[in-house]
Amino acid sequence: MSKVAPPNPLEMLAYNIAQMIEDDQIVYVGTGLPMVGAILAKKTHAPNITLVYESGGQDPLEGQMPWSVGCPFTYRKSPAVLEMAVSFGQCAIGYVDIAFQGGAQIDMYGNVNTSVIGSYENLKSILPGSGGGNDIGSLTQKSVLVGLQTPDRFPARVDFITTPGYLDGGDSREKAGLMGGPIAVVTQVGIYDFEPVTKRMRIKALNPGMSVEIAQACTGFELLVPDEVPFIEPPSDEVLEILRKEVDPRGVFIKMPAR
């Protein structure tokens, strides 16, 4: 028996984020779990990726987990830093391969809401706003959405489209003039992709111990289910040790909250 405890759902989430990244890519990193996943990728299967941040930090020397996207660890001995408009410009002109985005709500077409629950006229709760989310999701070739999956957080339609996914599905994203698009959604349940024609969210693979029924129960709309649903191999002990000891040793993002 292995002495290393099996991954908890947040650790699986971080691991699945990391698996989205291929070596040598330029990766646009936001705050929170995507940062954990990107740093895990760099310390394991993708040592030659270059991390870029919206605050302007580019290609930092390896160090601790940044406390914020503006943290000195995002531009630690960087050869250069860029102004914000230029940093986003890189996504538009094709110098960024993949980006990650979280959201309070993600819908069946991959639209993301980080603005408001309810509406601005009839507020239930107000969220921080787009920040760089809209820019990254509108401009980057491939984006990956990250969220904790519950029926409330995964409604059929988001209350407010802060970052467009495939809008109303089909070719509506392209028609709106947007480039790139979301390629996957990573949650504590598993990984989803978008059916190529309708652009509806579809199960791609599930975490160990999960099932199609659980995935559907965590979702506010009908998921597309392929004929065969593969299960994701859990990370090796070695990868888990790196995640726990080197990437997020204080467990800020990967420790499950106490009940």
Partner 1 sequence: MEFMYATKEQFERLVDFKGAREYHLSKSRKKKDKRMSLSEAIAEYVKDGDILAETGFSYVRSPIQAYFEIIRQKKKNMVSIGSPMSNTSYLMTMGCVYAIHLSYIGVEMRGNDKNFARAIKTKQAEILSIWSHGSMALGFKAAQLGAPFIAAKQLLGSDMLKYNPYVKVIENPVGLDKSEPVVIIPALFPDVCIIHVQKADRYGNAVIEGPAVNDIALAAACRKVIITAEKIVPEMTIRELGNACIPFWYVDAVVELPYGALPGCCPGCYYWAREWWEWLVRVGTPKQENVDDIMRYWVFECKDQFDFIEKLGGIRFIDQATRLMEAAQANIDDSLVSFDYQEVIPKWD
Identity of residue 208: P
CA distance 239 to 60: 22
Q: Which of 11, 22, 54, 222 is catalytic?
A: 54
Q: Smallest distance from the beta carbon of 17 to partner 1, in angstroms?
A: 15
Nearest distance in Å: CB 52, partner 1: 11
| 143 interacts with partner 1 by CB under 8 A | no
User: Which residues lie below 8 Å from residue 16, measured CB to CB, with a gap of 6+?
Assistant: 37, 186, 190, 191, 207, 232
Q: Which stretch binds partner 1 (CB under 8 A): 17-25, 155-163, 205-213, 233-241?
A: 155-163
Residue 167 as a binder of partner 1 (CB under 8 A): the answer is yes
Contact 95, 142 (CB under 8 A): no
The pair of structure tokens assigned to 69 is: 């996207």
Beta-strand runs (E) in the chain? 26-28, 50-52, 98-102, 105-106, 112-113, 116-118, 123-126, 142-146, 181-186, 190-194, 201-206
Q: How far apart are CA 100 and CA 204, in angstroms?
A: 18
The interface mask with partner 1, positions 168-187, x = CB under 8 A, is ----xx--xxxx--------
> From CA 47, how far away is CA 151, in angstroms rounded?
36
Return the number of the residue (88 or 206) whose C-beta is nearest partner 1. 88
The CA R_g of the chain, rounded to the nearest whole Å, is 18
Asked if 54 is part of the footprint of partner 1 (rule: CB under 8 A), the reply reads yes
- Count of residues that interact with partner 1, criterion CB under 8 A: 58
Active site residue 54: yes
List the one residue from 12, 14, 38, 71 that touches partner 1 (CB under 8 A): 71
**Residues 8-47: x/- map of binding to partner 1 (CB under 8 A)?**
-----------------------xx---------------
23, 24, 47, 61: residue in contact with partner 1 (rule CB under 8 A)? 61
Listed in order, strand segments (DSSP E) in 12-160 are 26-28, 50-52, 98-102, 105-106, 112-113, 116-118, 123-126, 142-146
Catalytic residues: 54
Query: Which residues of the shown chain bind partner 1 in the complex (CB under 8 A)?
Result: 31-32, 54-57, 61, 63-64, 67-73, 75-77, 81-85, 88, 92, 115, 120, 123, 125-135, 138-139, 160-164, 167, 172-173, 176-179, 250, 252-253, 257
